[in-house]
Chains A and B, each alone.
Chain A
Amino acid sequence: MLYDIRQTTSYTYAAPVRANRQVLRLSPVDRKGHQHVIAHMLDISPRPSEIERGRDFFGNGVAWMVIDAAHDRLEISTRSRVEVIVGPLPEPMLTPTIAEVRAVALASTELGPASPVHGMFASRSVPLDLAVTEWAEASCAEDRPILAAALEVMHRIHDEFTYKPGATTVTTLPAEAFAARSGVCQDFAHVMIAGLRGVGVPVRYVSGYLRTVPPEGTPRLEGADATHAWVEVWCGDSAGWIGLDPTNAIPAGEDHVILAIGRDYADVSPVDGVVVSSGTQILAVGVDVIPVERSQAEAPAS
């Protein structure tokens, strides 16, 4: 599946900003077996006085930028053409058991970005939590095939939780979203991570885009799409990381475009910045995910 993706992020500052330093994680990169980036452009206005592009530890595309001239608006826009490749999902019952996966991960001799060890421990935005762990344990007997267990946890989040925009923020802890049984995609991903890590399963956070299809007969609105979040569960050496989307209760598929991967939201936050200013700021984000060839698949809601 081929997409053209546009994202525009703008900050409007109430008082002129004298210095602006940002770290941007807005550039999709090639993910072997998942996606291929054909073209990508990053435009920043006003023009940064310093900019450097590279990769972070997890291989995400990062831009470090500084603007040192006074400005009252910052606009960051990206345009990408990405091909999404979807392989077949392994037969869940044939994946290794949780106990086997744990043993392999704990003995891993790989410290690089793809290693399961990075998905095993509590992280900044996902502290482990007893209540979430106990809840996940019901699906995660040690001798159960890992993908079967993870799919069940994913379905349970979808069934037991209410999708409720505005009820949570970027800093809401998984335990809080769990207690309220509601939240948005980021919360659902964090709850799933907290639960699976609590029972010792390596799991990581994915930020990206999800294609949405407008209701029959209505035109597609510009910028109506949104950034999305889901998880990847490590299913052993041969199956590797498998993407699961608890918000929509589906495996990550043709409609999921990966932007960045990390242990949790804090690792992949699209913009981390510090400005020198005395005033407030207004942020606006617009996303368009436009299929270049129309897919036959029915696309889910974000």
Chain B
Amino acid sequence: MSGAETRSIEFEQAAVESVLGGYETLPGVRDEMMDADGLPRAHWVPFLSELAQLGPEELRRRFSSADRYLRESGVFYRVYDDVGGGERPWSLSHVPLLLEKSDFAELAAGLVERAELLEALLADLYGPGTLVTNGALPAAAVAGSPEFLRPLVGVTPRGGRFLRFYAADVGRGPDGRWWVLADRTQAPSGVGYALENRLAVTRALPDVSQTLRMERLASFFQTFRASLLKLDSTGEGRVGLLTPGSLNETYFEHALLARYLGFLLVEGEDLTVRGDAVHVRTVAGLKRLDVLLRRLDADFGDPLELNAHSRLGVPGLVEAVRQGSVALANALGAGLVESPALMAFLPRLAESLLGHPLALPHVGTWWCGQEAERADVLAHLDDLVLTSAFGTLIPGLPRRFSAVGADLSPAQRKRVMALIARRGEDLVAQDIACVSTMPVWNGDRLVPRPFTLRVFLAATEDGWEVMPGGFCRISESLDARAFSMQRGDRSADVWVLSDGAVSSATLMPSPESVRIRRSSGTLPSRAADNLFWLGRYLERSEATLRVVRALVGRLSEVEPSSSAPLVARVLGMLSTWGAIPRDLARANPTRYAIAALTRMDLPGALPQLVRSARASASVIRDRFSPDGWRALLDLEGCLTAPVPNAASEADVYERADAALRIIAAFSGLASENMNRLAGWRFLEIGRRIERSIAILRFARAFAEPDAPRGALNVLLQLTDSQITYRTRYMIMEARGPVLDLVLLDPDNPRSLMFQVQRIVDHLRVLPGRDPDAPPSLAERLVARIQSDLIARTAETFELVHFDVLEADLLKLSDEIGQHYFIQGPEENVSWPAAT
């Protein structure tokens, strides 16, 4: 190092003192930022000096903007442990882990080698099994894993690979070497969160990330996507991402990846096996699906041949795999090589499968199914971590048991000793691995916290590609022993610092590979169904809000004697809709309005309506922009917040108004930002049908020939047509002109005719419609409604017509459901006990 460089580093070090003040590394633990002499490592200095320049105040502002970004984009992690299965916002530690390129390259090379070993191991265990017959691996160390899927033995996966996406959890030991702590081969999670973390941190620190030049992530995803697309033989570039559904803890990530990679997010019930090939049920019928990125645990994949209790899988999937008609990433059964028992044999297996030892060490592991190992473990019990050999629950020990021998309670010790004596095969013992710490911003300064790093690898035709980054899980506790920090409290981005030019790849495919296409892609029936109902619930919310607003707004301004009959009509309507209780005897309109706005227990009141809307949207997260999703969350937040006891009319009006504004914002986003594809059309059809029904009900209640005075005015208000009426007629409301405007005027966007025409337009262009076939029943139904409206005049409208039209609209809704959404529920067959 030259003198000038030394001086410049010393200068920078002086500048970073402010951020480093009081940073004390843990005794005996390596720190990623500080060296043993308490000086920042060279590759951290530029970053620290950038932070120093920003100053603590600015840092706080920047970091809270990153938090806001994550919150607003709806990044969440579902927590099973919470009562009611809550969603926990993603917790980001803002300081990234900085790794030198050469350091990461060495780690990456070691992991590539390991991925190759695991692939070879899977190929042997599901294939010829020579590693077992020649004694390199005891049969019991394989058979004990619940992920040794016997129906898949002898099956070569389509494309010849078991692993296509592999992740390893690694930690850095006190000696500075990386150690593998665990392998993830079933359906590794975290890569989507890593992507979100990168976006959040680079948004918070745009200047810093520009200056530092870290390796970009996009080309990794691009390569991975391309390698999966190569397996698709349909030529339509269709890849499914198979998710267990919105209750899964990492569902957000599934939706995010599907959107980012352009894959179709599908659940088991979206898929069906016909003629030994997997198909997705879409609004245009069944479409073949050749490639599935699997985020569903293999055991749940097929109720026929795997777990019969699974409701998440696809009956016949195993047979489709056997026939080679579908490629799964990863293959069913790939989870086998995650088991700690197998890790004990990897060093020996590397010699026979790769011909040389593994360059990257893993945590020392001994399987207690072997006599000599058992004796060794007993002799050193206090200094070893004991854990389940196959990740399964061991009776008498807690779930996910992992403890150092010395720390065992007397009861646990007794149990462990009994196991080692009678069922040692269920246990492994591992060395206590101590990991390193990295800096975490605790609000006003940096503090060291232990972490593990997950690194992601994707298989390509030219071998394994490593994502230049990763996903750090940081523990809040100061215990740096790896086994004690399985969950991780916070996550952090990982920057691999580049020493050369950084590729600026994005997920845009290279120009020559792009085929121009405007078609609608593929819309699974389930997604269409949920979009349709989202539209209906939103519109129903809007109609109810308008009624509530009328109740406390316009109506309350009129003198009670003349408003009473109108109020009674409004209340009657709300009561029929289930939006208010029937037993609020003689309460004033405001109490009723509050009930409709806040009662959680009424099916037609707003909390339940917006929850239903949100529930429909939550299972199709991949189809929304973050803004659209945020609008829905805002709406729910607005309508489920507690109302003060002494809420006034103004408070109620205010809330109803705010909610209507959010719905308008969502509609605006949908109409401006959603492509005019099938999905948008189903959302639209749902809204138009619901709005038509509301218009009919409003008109029926307030345009009766003997309706009380002022009723027509209420009708105009509820249908948002007052201004149009005033500008057109300049007279008091008269029944004929009002009905014409509300029901028949094709140019009034709030009229019934307008809604019906939109439905006609949408149905005509939905996918799967055969232009040579006669119109569908749904099309014929809506055509009948339309011609009925054309043929009628305002004067000839009678009560009975309202009922007929409403019945027709409900029939239309059912018919759309039958035609596009329902392809039959599948039921498992039960079998009686043998006797």
Cross-chain contact of B835 among A23, A112, A302 (Cβ < 8 A): A302
Interchain CB contact under 8 A, B826 and A133: no
**Cβ of B487 < 8 Å from any Cβ of A?**
no
Known: A121-B143, A169-B833, A283-B831. A274 touches B824 (CB 8 A): no
CB distance from B122 to the nearest CB of A (A): 14
Cross-chain contact of A207 among B396, B423, B834 (Cβ < 8 A): B834
**Cβ of A299 < 8 Å from any Cβ of B?**
no
A19 CA to B825 CA in the complex, in Å? Answer: 10
A277 CA to B143 CA in the complex, in Å? Answer: 37
A124 CA to B148 CA in the complex, in Å? Answer: 13
Cross-chain contact of B304 among A19, A68, A273, A283 (Cβ < 8 A): A273
**Cβ of A198 < 8 Å from any Cβ of B?**
yes
Question: B136-161: contact bitstring with A at CB < 8 Å (1 yes, 0 no)?
Answer: 00111011100000110100000000
**Cβ of A200 < 8 Å from any Cβ of B?**
yes
List B residues 310-362 near A (Cβ within 8 Å): 315-316, 319
List residues of chain B with CB within 8 A of the CB of A66. 316
Interchain CB contact under 8 A, A271 and B303: no
Interchain CB contact under 8 A, B423 and A200: yes
Known: A129-B395, A165-B835. A106 touches B829 (CB 8 A): no
List residues of chain B with CB within 8 A of the CB of A103. 371
Question: A172-184: contact bitstring with B at CB < 8 Å (1 yes, 0 no)?
Answer: 1000000000001
Interchain CB contact under 8 A, A272 and B425: no
Interchain CB contact under 8 A, A168 and B833: yes
**Cβ of B633 < 8 Å from any Cβ of A?**
no
A165 CA to B369 CA in the complex, in Å? Answer: 39
List A residues 211-230 near B (Cβ within 8 Å): 226-229
Cross-chain contact of B829 among A56, A64, A127, A275 (Cβ < 8 A): A275
Q: How many residues on chain A are close to B (CB under 8 Å)?
A: 71
**Cβ of B275 < 8 Å from any Cβ of A?**
yes
Cross-chain contact of A109 among B132, B275, B425, B835 (Cβ < 8 A): B132
Interchain CB contact under 8 A, B834 and A115: no
Interchain CB contact under 8 A, B423 and A198: yes
Interchain CB contact under 8 A, B829 and A281: yes
Cross-chain contact of A274 among B135, B274, B315 (Cβ < 8 A): B315
A52 CA to B318 CA in the complex, in Å? Answer: 14
Nearest opposing residue in chain A for B149, CB measure: A57
Nearest opposing residue in chain A for B272, CB measure: A19
Interchain CB contact under 8 A, A109 and B304: no
A108 CA to B370 CA in the complex, in Å? Answer: 11
A230 CA to B425 CA in the complex, in Å? Answer: 25
**Cβ of A110 < 8 Å from any Cβ of B?**
yes
Interchain CB contact under 8 A, B395 and A117: no
Cross-chain contact of A56 among B150, B316, B831 (Cβ < 8 A): B150
Nearest opposing residue in chain B for A113, CB measure: B150
Cross-chain contact of B133 among A109, A121, A169 (Cβ < 8 A): A109
CB distance from A21 to the nearest CB of B (A): 5
Nearest opposing residue in chain A for B303, CB measure: A274
Interchain CB contact under 8 A, B832 and A57: no
Interchain CB contact under 8 A, B143 and A274: no
List residues of chain B with CB within 8 A of the CB of A120. 140, 143-144, 425
Nearest opposing residue in chain B for A172, CB measure: B833
**Cβ of A266 < 8 Å from any Cβ of B?**
yes
A272 CA to B302 CA in the complex, in Å? Answer: 11
A117 CA to B828 CA in the complex, in Å? Answer: 31
- Which of A68, A170, A271 gathers most chain B CB within 10 Å? A170
**Cβ of B515 < 8 Å from any Cβ of A?**
no
**Cβ of B393 < 8 Å from any Cβ of A?**
yes
Interchain CB contact under 8 A, B830 and A274: no
CB distance from A282 to the nearest CB of B (A): 11
List B residues 778-828 near A (Cβ within 8 Å): 823-828
List residues of chain B with CB within 8 A of the CB of A110. 132-133, 139
List residues of chain B with CB within 8 A of the CB of A127. 393, 395
Interchain CB contact under 8 A, B829 and A271: yes
**Cβ of B134 < 8 Å from any Cβ of A?**
yes
Cross-chain contact of B827 among A117, A128, A269, A275 (Cβ < 8 A): A275
**Cβ of B102 < 8 Å from any Cβ of A?**
no
A93 CA to B180 CA in the complex, in Å? Answer: 49
Nearest opposing residue in chain A for B369, CB measure: A106
Cross-chain contact of A170 among B129, B138, B425, B830 (Cβ < 8 A): B830
Interchain CB contact under 8 A, B150 and A58: yes
Interchain CB contact under 8 A, B150 and A278: no
In the assembled complex, 20 residue pairs joining A and B whose CB atoms fall closer than 8 Å, in A order, are A11-B829, A52-B319, A56-B150, A106-B370, A108-B139, A109-B133, A112-B129, A121-B425, A133-B395, A170-B833, A172-B833, A269-B831, A270-B831, A274-B303, A274-B826, A274-B829, A275-B827, A278-B824, A278-B825, A283-B830
Closest 9 CB pairs of A and B: A57-B150, A276-B824, A273-B829, A117-B143, A274-B315, A227-B834, A117-B140, A117-B139, A111-B139
Q: A108-B140, A275-B829 are in contact. List 14 more A-B contacts (CB 8 A).
A: A18-B824, A19-B824, A21-B316, A106-B425, A110-B132, A120-B143, A121-B143, A121-B144, A129-B395, A170-B832, A269-B831, A272-B308, A274-B828, A275-B827
Interface residues of B (CB under 8 A from A): 125, 129, 132-135, 138-140, 142-144, 150-151, 153, 273-276, 303-305, 307-309, 315-316, 319, 369-371, 390, 392-396, 422-423, 425-426, 823-835
Interface residues of A (CB under 8 A from B): 11, 18-19, 21-23, 50, 52, 56-58, 64, 66, 68, 103, 105-112, 115, 117-118, 120-122, 124, 127-130, 133, 142, 165, 168-172, 184-187, 198-200, 207, 226-229, 265-267, 269-278, 281, 283, 285, 302
